[in-house]
Amino acid sequence: MQAKPTLEDTLSLMRDLRRRCEWDAAQTHESLRPYLIEEAYEVDDAIRSGNDRMLREELGDLLLQVLFHSVVAEERGAFDFHDVAETFITKMKGRHPHLYGDGVRESWERMKAKKRESIADGLPAELPSLHRAFRLQDRAAGVGFDWPDVEGPMAKVSEELDEVRAEIAAHPDLPARAAAPRYDEHHERLEDELGDLLFAVVNLCRKAGVHPALALDRANVKFARRFREVEQLATQRGLKVGSATLEELDKIWDEVKSRER
Protein backbone atom coordinates (compact mmCIF):
# COMPACT_ATOMS: atom_id res chain seq x y z
CA MET A 1 0.00 0.00 0.00
CA GLN A 2 1.45 3.33 -1.07
CA ALA A 3 2.24 5.70 1.79
CA LYS A 4 0.33 8.96 1.89
CA PRO A 5 2.22 12.19 1.16
CA THR A 6 3.67 14.04 4.14
CA LEU A 7 4.07 17.73 4.89
CA GLU A 8 7.73 17.32 3.91
CA ASP A 9 6.55 16.13 0.48
CA THR A 10 4.42 19.25 0.05
CA LEU A 11 7.34 21.43 1.12
CA SER A 12 9.67 19.77 -1.38
CA LEU A 13 7.12 20.30 -4.14
CA MET A 14 6.78 23.98 -3.25
CA ARG A 15 10.56 24.45 -3.39
CA ASP A 16 10.65 22.70 -6.77
CA LEU A 17 7.91 24.96 -8.12
CA ARG A 18 9.84 28.01 -7.00
CA ARG A 19 12.85 26.74 -8.98
CA ARG A 20 11.14 25.61 -12.17
CA CYS A 21 7.84 27.51 -12.61
CA GLU A 22 8.14 31.11 -13.81
CA TRP A 23 4.91 32.24 -12.17
CA ASP A 24 5.68 30.66 -8.81
CA ALA A 25 9.23 31.99 -8.88
CA ALA A 26 7.99 35.54 -9.47
CA GLN A 27 5.70 35.68 -6.42
CA THR A 28 6.43 37.65 -3.25
CA HIS A 29 4.72 37.95 0.12
CA GLU A 30 3.00 41.09 -1.16
CA SER A 31 1.79 39.61 -4.46
CA LEU A 32 0.34 36.58 -2.65
CA ARG A 33 -1.82 38.61 -0.26
CA PRO A 34 -5.01 38.57 -2.38
CA TYR A 35 -4.80 34.81 -2.88
CA LEU A 36 -4.53 34.14 0.85
CA ILE A 37 -7.75 36.07 1.51
CA GLU A 38 -9.52 34.42 -1.43
CA GLU A 39 -8.51 30.90 -0.36
CA ALA A 40 -9.68 31.53 3.20
CA TYR A 41 -13.11 32.56 1.89
CA GLU A 42 -13.26 29.48 -0.33
CA VAL A 43 -12.57 27.26 2.68
CA ASP A 44 -15.38 29.08 4.48
CA ASP A 45 -17.73 28.44 1.54
CA ALA A 46 -16.83 24.74 1.58
CA ILE A 47 -17.57 24.49 5.30
CA ARG A 48 -20.87 26.29 4.82
CA SER A 49 -21.87 23.95 1.99
CA GLY A 50 -21.06 20.84 4.04
CA ASN A 51 -19.17 19.42 1.05
CA ASP A 52 -16.25 17.33 2.37
CA ARG A 53 -14.68 16.84 -1.06
CA MET A 54 -14.65 20.58 -1.65
CA LEU A 55 -13.37 21.25 1.89
CA ARG A 56 -10.48 18.82 1.37
CA GLU A 57 -9.53 20.57 -1.87
CA GLU A 58 -9.84 24.09 -0.49
CA LEU A 59 -7.80 23.23 2.62
CA GLY A 60 -5.08 22.08 0.23
CA ASP A 61 -5.22 25.46 -1.53
CA LEU A 62 -4.96 27.21 1.83
CA LEU A 63 -2.00 24.99 2.77
CA LEU A 64 -0.38 26.08 -0.49
CA GLN A 65 -0.41 29.66 0.78
CA VAL A 66 1.28 28.64 4.05
CA LEU A 67 3.93 26.69 2.13
CA PHE A 68 4.39 29.50 -0.39
CA HIS A 69 5.03 32.17 2.24
CA SER A 70 7.28 29.83 4.22
CA VAL A 71 9.48 29.06 1.21
CA VAL A 72 9.65 32.71 0.15
CA ALA A 73 10.76 33.57 3.70
CA GLU A 74 13.25 30.70 3.62
CA GLU A 75 14.81 32.10 0.44
CA ARG A 76 15.14 35.48 2.12
CA GLY A 77 16.88 33.88 5.08
CA ALA A 78 14.16 35.08 7.44
CA PHE A 79 12.72 31.75 8.63
CA ASP A 80 11.57 28.44 7.17
CA PHE A 81 8.58 26.11 7.42
CA HIS A 82 10.08 24.27 10.40
CA ASP A 83 10.38 27.57 12.26
CA VAL A 84 6.68 28.14 11.57
CA ALA A 85 5.92 24.66 12.96
CA GLU A 86 8.07 25.34 16.03
CA THR A 87 6.30 28.63 16.69
CA PHE A 88 2.93 26.89 16.33
CA ILE A 89 3.85 24.13 18.80
CA THR A 90 5.26 26.62 21.32
CA LYS A 91 2.15 28.77 21.09
CA MET A 92 -0.29 25.87 21.45
CA LYS A 93 1.55 24.49 24.49
CA GLY A 94 1.69 27.98 25.96
CA ARG A 95 -2.08 28.28 25.57
CA HIS A 96 -2.56 25.04 27.50
CA PRO A 97 -0.14 25.24 30.47
CA HIS A 98 -2.38 22.85 32.43
CA LEU A 99 -1.87 20.17 29.75
CA TYR A 100 1.80 20.72 28.85
CA GLY A 101 3.33 21.79 32.13
CA ASP A 102 2.57 22.64 35.72
CA GLY A 103 0.54 25.75 34.96
CA VAL A 104 -3.01 26.58 35.94
CA ARG A 105 -5.78 26.60 33.35
CA GLU A 106 -6.41 30.19 32.28
CA SER A 107 -8.35 31.83 29.46
CA TRP A 108 -6.28 32.69 26.40
CA GLU A 109 -7.50 36.28 26.39
CA ARG A 110 -6.41 36.75 30.01
CA MET A 111 -2.95 35.37 29.20
CA LYS A 112 -2.64 37.59 26.13
CA ALA A 113 -3.83 40.64 28.08
CA LYS A 114 -0.71 40.43 30.25
CA LYS A 115 1.42 41.09 27.14
CA ARG A 116 -0.71 43.85 25.57
CA GLU A 117 -0.83 47.55 26.33
CA SER A 118 -4.36 47.86 24.90
CA ILE A 119 -7.15 45.50 23.82
CA ALA A 120 -6.81 46.77 20.24
CA ASP A 121 -3.15 45.77 19.95
CA GLY A 122 -2.53 43.14 17.29
CA LEU A 123 -5.98 43.13 15.71
CA PRO A 124 -5.57 43.24 11.89
CA ALA A 125 -6.43 46.62 10.38
CA GLU A 126 -8.61 45.03 7.68
CA LEU A 127 -10.59 42.78 10.03
CA PRO A 128 -14.31 43.02 9.11
CA SER A 129 -16.12 45.43 11.45
CA LEU A 130 -18.53 42.81 12.81
CA HIS A 131 -15.70 40.45 13.72
CA ARG A 132 -13.60 43.31 15.08
CA ALA A 133 -16.40 44.33 17.45
CA PHE A 134 -16.66 40.74 18.68
CA ARG A 135 -12.90 40.47 19.24
CA LEU A 136 -12.69 43.80 21.07
CA GLN A 137 -15.48 42.72 23.40
CA ASP A 138 -13.92 39.29 23.86
CA ARG A 139 -10.61 40.88 24.79
CA ALA A 140 -12.29 43.30 27.20
CA ALA A 141 -14.06 40.35 28.81
CA GLY A 142 -10.68 38.64 29.17
CA VAL A 143 -9.59 41.34 31.63
CA GLY A 144 -12.86 41.30 33.57
CA PHE A 145 -14.84 44.02 31.77
CA ASP A 146 -17.94 41.96 31.04
CA TRP A 147 -21.57 41.35 32.02
CA PRO A 148 -22.16 38.31 34.24
CA ASP A 149 -24.96 37.03 31.97
CA VAL A 150 -27.17 37.93 28.98
CA GLU A 151 -29.50 40.16 31.00
CA GLY A 152 -27.11 43.12 30.92
CA PRO A 153 -26.54 42.98 27.15
CA MET A 154 -30.28 42.61 26.49
CA ALA A 155 -31.01 45.71 28.58
CA LYS A 156 -28.22 47.55 26.75
CA VAL A 157 -29.74 46.68 23.36
CA SER A 158 -33.09 48.14 24.53
CA GLU A 159 -31.33 51.27 25.80
CA GLU A 160 -29.47 51.80 22.53
CA LEU A 161 -32.63 51.17 20.50
CA ASP A 162 -34.43 53.87 22.50
CA GLU A 163 -31.63 56.31 21.70
CA VAL A 164 -31.93 55.49 17.99
CA ARG A 165 -35.69 56.07 18.18
CA ALA A 166 -35.13 59.43 19.88
CA GLU A 167 -32.67 60.56 17.20
CA ILE A 168 -35.00 59.50 14.40
CA ALA A 169 -37.99 61.19 16.07
CA ALA A 170 -36.02 64.43 16.22
CA HIS A 171 -35.84 64.48 12.43
CA PRO A 172 -39.20 63.62 10.81
CA ASP A 173 -37.68 64.25 7.35
CA LEU A 174 -35.78 60.94 7.59
CA PRO A 175 -37.50 59.30 4.54
CA ALA A 176 -36.32 62.19 2.34
CA ARG A 177 -32.87 61.98 3.90
CA ALA A 178 -32.69 58.25 3.15
CA ALA A 179 -33.45 58.91 -0.51
CA ALA A 180 -30.81 61.64 -0.73
CA PRO A 181 -28.47 61.40 2.29
CA ARG A 182 -27.14 64.64 3.75
CA TYR A 183 -23.94 64.09 5.70
CA ASP A 184 -24.63 66.69 8.37
CA GLU A 185 -24.59 66.64 12.18
CA HIS A 186 -27.84 64.65 12.35
CA HIS A 187 -26.44 62.00 10.03
CA GLU A 188 -23.33 61.70 12.22
CA ARG A 189 -25.41 61.42 15.41
CA LEU A 190 -27.66 58.79 13.84
CA GLU A 191 -24.63 56.88 12.58
CA ASP A 192 -23.19 56.99 16.12
CA GLU A 193 -26.42 55.73 17.70
CA LEU A 194 -26.92 52.95 15.14
CA GLY A 195 -23.29 51.95 15.60
CA ASP A 196 -23.84 51.72 19.36
CA LEU A 197 -26.93 49.58 18.73
CA LEU A 198 -25.03 47.21 16.45
CA PHE A 199 -22.18 47.01 18.97
CA ALA A 200 -24.67 46.14 21.72
CA VAL A 201 -26.25 43.41 19.57
CA VAL A 202 -22.80 41.95 18.91
CA ASN A 203 -22.22 41.86 22.67
CA LEU A 204 -25.56 40.10 23.20
CA CYS A 205 -24.56 37.51 20.62
CA ARG A 206 -21.23 36.97 22.35
CA LYS A 207 -22.80 36.50 25.78
CA ALA A 208 -25.33 34.09 24.27
CA GLY A 209 -22.49 32.01 22.83
CA VAL A 210 -23.26 32.91 19.21
CA HIS A 211 -20.77 34.50 16.83
CA PRO A 212 -22.52 37.52 15.26
CA ALA A 213 -20.90 36.97 11.84
CA LEU A 214 -22.28 33.42 11.68
CA ALA A 215 -25.69 34.56 12.91
CA LEU A 216 -25.84 37.31 10.28
CA ASP A 217 -24.65 34.89 7.62
CA ARG A 218 -27.56 32.55 8.46
CA ALA A 219 -29.95 35.50 8.30
CA ASN A 220 -28.57 36.55 4.89
CA VAL A 221 -29.00 33.03 3.49
CA LYS A 222 -32.51 32.77 4.91
CA PHE A 223 -33.58 36.17 3.54
CA ALA A 224 -32.15 35.43 0.08
CA ARG A 225 -33.92 32.05 -0.01
CA ARG A 226 -37.25 33.49 1.10
CA PHE A 227 -37.11 36.45 -1.26
CA ARG A 228 -36.27 34.16 -4.16
CA GLU A 229 -39.50 32.30 -3.39
CA VAL A 230 -41.37 35.61 -3.19
CA GLU A 231 -40.10 36.51 -6.66
CA GLN A 232 -41.11 33.12 -8.04
CA LEU A 233 -44.61 33.25 -6.54
CA ALA A 234 -45.08 36.85 -7.68
CA THR A 235 -44.18 35.86 -11.25
CA GLN A 236 -46.57 32.89 -11.14
CA ARG A 237 -49.37 35.25 -10.09
CA GLY A 238 -48.67 37.83 -12.77
CA LEU A 239 -47.00 40.34 -10.46
CA LYS A 240 -43.82 42.25 -11.18
CA VAL A 241 -41.67 42.56 -8.08
CA GLY A 242 -40.46 45.99 -9.12
CA SER A 243 -43.96 47.41 -9.53
CA ALA A 244 -46.04 45.34 -7.05
CA THR A 245 -47.24 47.11 -3.91
CA LEU A 246 -45.68 46.53 -0.52
CA GLU A 247 -48.94 44.98 0.66
CA GLU A 248 -48.90 42.46 -2.19
CA LEU A 249 -45.30 41.48 -1.59
CA ASP A 250 -45.73 41.37 2.18
CA LYS A 251 -48.65 38.99 1.81
CA ILE A 252 -46.52 36.62 -0.31
CA TRP A 253 -43.66 37.00 2.17
CA ASP A 254 -45.91 35.90 5.03
CA GLU A 255 -47.05 32.96 2.92
CA VAL A 256 -43.44 31.88 2.29
CA LYS A 257 -42.61 32.17 5.99
CA SER A 258 -45.68 30.14 6.99
CA ARG A 259 -44.51 27.28 4.75
CA GLU A 260 -41.30 26.99 6.77
CA ARG A 261 -43.04 26.55 10.12
Would you tell me how many other CB atoms lie within 10 Å of the CB of residue 213? 16
Helix, strand and coil content of the chain, in percent to the nearest 5, comes to 70, 0, 30
Q: How many angstroms separate the CA atoms of 140 and 135, rounded?
A: 8
Q: How many angstroms separate the CA atoms of 88 and 84, rounded?
A: 6
Domains and CATH numbers, the chain: 7-105 (1.10.287.1080), 215-260 (no CATH)
Type of residue numbered 49: S
Cα–Cα distance list, 142 to 47, 105, 111, 160, 183 (Å): 29, 14, 8, 24, 37
Q: How many angstroms separate the CA atoms of 74 and 71, rounded?
A: 5
The stretches of 52-118 forming alpha helices (DSSP H) are: 52-76, 81-95, 108-113
> Could you report the average pLDDT of every consecutive run of 10 residues in the chain (261 residues)?
90 97 96 93 93 97 97 98 96 91 82 80 87 93 92 98 94 71 83 97 96 93 95 93 92 93 76
Do 184 and 170 contact (CB within 8 A), yes or no? no
What pLDDT does 43 receive? Answer: 96
Type of residue numbered 77: G
